[in-house]
Amino acid sequence: MSDPNNPDGCNPCLTGNGPPPTLCDGDTSNNYWVEGGICMLDTMTKTQVVYSIEHNPKARDDLKRVTTCEELLELLDHVPLLSTMQEDDEQQKTLNRTDSLPFYTVFRGNTNDM
């Protein structure tokens, strides 16, 4: 995970000797964070990761499986999943389903005072 706020490029999650370290050190099969064998977490900024886990439930679930990085797993605890536009639309439809007359009927003199 590249961090523009950390100019020396040091990442506390990437430590150790041997092959090039990766943040995807867990289950990478059928995972949101791995595309074509490349770990997207290694190329993303913290802001991009936060955006992904705010808007995509699969990204949240897969992050738990794909990494052991404490910093990223802590983000899951602190960053909430935001509601989707479809959920908001459905909620508004529910609020609009009341026993009321459409607004334009007031102009026709209909006030439902029967």
For residue 102, being part of any structural domain is answered with no
Domain contains 109: no
pLDDT tens digits along 80-101: 998 776 777 887 777 777 666 6
Tens digits of residue pLDDT in 31-84: 999 999 999 999 999 999 999 999 999 999 999 999 999 999 999 999 999 877
Domain assignment present for 17: no
Q: What domain range is 55 assigned to?
A: 34-96
Alpha-helix runs per DSSP H in 34-108 = 46-55, 57-66, 70-78, 85-96
Which pair of structure tokens corresponds to residue 59? 């990204």
Closest by Cα among 40, 45, 7, 48 to 23 = 40
- Which pTM value belongs to this model? 0.61
Q: Say if 107 falls within a structural domain.
A: no
Question: What b/e string do you get for 51-73 counting C-beta neighbours within 10 Å, with b at 16 or more?
Answer: ebbeebeebbebbeebbebeebe
Per the structure, the count of domains in the chain is 1
Asked whether residue 74 is assigned to any structural domain, the reply reads: yes
- Residue 90, domain member (yes or no): yes
